[in-house]
């Protein structure tokens, strides 16, 4: 008879409490790109979460130092590729402030209009992609339909669909095409008339509400501690918006139309509601800008610049309320035609750090819901 060997395998006790390290990404659909999440799990519950960034780092801040003030606009509009116009805007505002330059009124109002249209384009992407990550495919088709309508008018005015390169130091590249304002007004009106689809399709969906209500609650204290901004911060009751609190462009004259959307719950559902309501308000602001542009007399859209543009020696900080939150440029000049230093403060970089606070204690199944509700772009994290 052949001898046999018996081995006892324990499946309880210590085995149940053994931690497991799980990597989500850097190639994972829910990470919106090459972001890696290092999770420590106890069963199905997350014990510790660490965002690991840098897989998309392109050294844009260092490249700023080797480009002149016209060329850096191209670099700046790419880190958050869904908010390209707003990214350009922060750079030119900083350089104009260093130069003490005043921009013509038509350029001010046109910039404000295009910034709000860009905000709608950004938000529509997340209004469609977030339900998709939770299993609902229909909203993204509607979101892309509306995006196409607005992208047509943005492409007509600038020539670009995503990277507009329409801002210039002193104003804009060129004046608006003939009849463009009418077509833009029709696009804004059409998109607004169909925005209630998201209220019915998404917010009225029991499964969506069940997956997001009370999940991933971010406290106001954590918002302040991590420097979280934008719709994510306002969904936690932090009532701060640079367009109202430190007005730039034409926002000082739009206070009656501007509505700062806030919620108190701080959960995934509140963040989505803030994003949706803010999209409605951005369309209202765009229409108000079109009304004001129609009243303005003909005039220049930019300032004439010297062949070689040099900012005087000094430093400044220009921050704007980008679609995803606060976007800031700290510019240091030594009087040359290139920046001595240009430091970028991006919204997604700070917002994503809050995952270390949000994920521990939650289930793996809720991780995607929480991650998607932070509405980030990986290029905006890595720069």
Q: Which residues of the chain have pLDDT under 70?
A: 1-18, 28-32
List 322's β-bridge partners, or say none.
325
Residues 6+ apart with CB under 8 A from 347: 80, 229, 230, 322, 324, 325, 326, 327, 380
Which SS3 state, helix, strand or coil, does residue 32 take? Answer: coil
- C-alpha 82/C-alpha 7 separation (Å) is 58
Which SS3 state, helix, strand or coil, does residue 248 take? Answer: coil
Adjacency order of strands within the sheet including 341-345 = 314-322, 325-333, 341-345
Domain boundaries, the chain: 20-52, 60-381
List 39's β-bridge partners, or say none.
22, 49
Q: Please report how the helices 105-133 and 268-295 are oriented relative to each other, as an axis angle in degrees rounded to 10.
A: 150
Give 79-132 pLDDT, tens digit per residue. Answer: 888 999 999 999 999 999 999 999 999 999 999 999 999 999 999 999 999 999
The pLDDT of residue 337 is 92
Could you tell me the CATH superfamily of domain 60-381? Cytochrome-c3 Hydrogenase, chain B (1.10.645.10)
- C-alpha 170/C-alpha 102 separation (Å) is 7
The pLDDT of residue 383 is 78
Q: Please report how the helices 364-372 and 105-133 are oriented relative to each other, as an axis angle in degrees rounded to 10.
A: 160
Q: What phi and psi, each to the nearest 5 degrees, are found at residue 200?
A: -80, -45
Query: How far is CA 169 from each of CA 114, 283, 346, rounded to the nearest angstrom?
Result: 16, 26, 21
The pLDDT of residue 10 is 46
Alpha-helix runs per DSSP H in the chain: 60-64, 72-76, 84-99, 105-133, 138-158, 180-194, 196-198, 206-212, 220-226, 231-234, 242-245, 268-295, 347-353, 355-358, 364-372, 378-382
Q: What phi and psi, each to the nearest 5 degrees, are found at residue 294?
A: -65, -25
Contacts by 331-337, CB closer than 8 A, 24 or more apart: 331/94, 331/95, 331/98, 333/98, 335/310, 335/311, 336/310, 337/68, 337/69, 337/308, 337/309, 337/310
The pLDDT of residue 14 is 46
The pLDDT of residue 25 is 74
Burial (CB count within 10 angstroms: exposed 0-12, middle 13-18, buried 19+), residue 85? buried
Structure-token match 């206070």, residue found: 255
The pLDDT of residue 18 is 66
- C-alpha 318/C-alpha 146 separation (Å) is 31
């Amino acid at each position: 008879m052949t001898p046999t060997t018996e081995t006892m395998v324990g499946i309880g006790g210590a085995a149940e409490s053994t931690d497991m390290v799980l990597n989500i990404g850097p190639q994972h659909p829910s990470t919106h790109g090459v972001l890696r999440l290092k999770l420590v799990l106890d069963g199905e519950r997350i014990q510790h979460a660490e965002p690991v960034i840098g897989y998309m780092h392109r050294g844009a801040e260092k490249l700023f130092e080797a480009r002149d003030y016209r060329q850096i606009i191209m670099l700046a509009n790419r880190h958050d590729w869904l908010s390209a116009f707003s990214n350009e805007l922060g750079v030119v505002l900083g350089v104009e402030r260093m130069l003490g330059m005043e921009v013509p009124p038509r350029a001010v109002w046109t910039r404000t209009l295009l910034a709000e249209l860009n905000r709608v384009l950004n938000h529509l992407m997340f209004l469609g992609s977030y339900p998709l990550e939770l299993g609902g495919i229909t909203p993204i088709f509607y979101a892309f339909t509306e995006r196409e309508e607005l992208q047509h008018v943005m492409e007509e005015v600038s020539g670009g669909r995503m990277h507009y390169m329409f801002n210039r130091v002193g104003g804009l590249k060129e004046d608006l095409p003939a009849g463009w304002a009418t077509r833009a007004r029709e696009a804004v009106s059409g998109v607004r008339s169909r925005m209630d689809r998201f209220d019915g399709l998404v917010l009225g969906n029991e499964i969506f509400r069940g997956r997001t209500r009370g999940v991933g609650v971010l406290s106001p204290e954590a918002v302040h501690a991590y420097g979280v901004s934008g719709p994510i911060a306002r969904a936690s009751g932090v009532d701060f918006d640079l367009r109202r609190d430190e007005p730039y462009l034409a926002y000082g004259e739009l206070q009656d139309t501007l509505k700062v959307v806030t919620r108190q719950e701080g959960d995934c559902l509140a963040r989505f509601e803030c994003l949706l309501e803010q999209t409605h308000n951005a369309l209202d602001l765009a229409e108000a800008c079109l009304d004001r542009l129609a009243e303005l007399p003909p005039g220049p859209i930019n300032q004439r610049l010297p062949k070689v543009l040099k900012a005087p020696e000094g430093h400044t900080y220009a921050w704007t309320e980008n679609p995803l939150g606060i976007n800031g440029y700290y510019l240091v000049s030594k009087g040359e035609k290139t920046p001595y230093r240009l430091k970028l403060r991006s919204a997604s970089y700070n917002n994503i750090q809050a995952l270390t606070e949000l994920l521990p204690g939650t289930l793996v199944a809720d991780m995607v819901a929480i991650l998607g509700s932070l509405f980030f772009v990986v290029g905006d994290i890595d720069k």
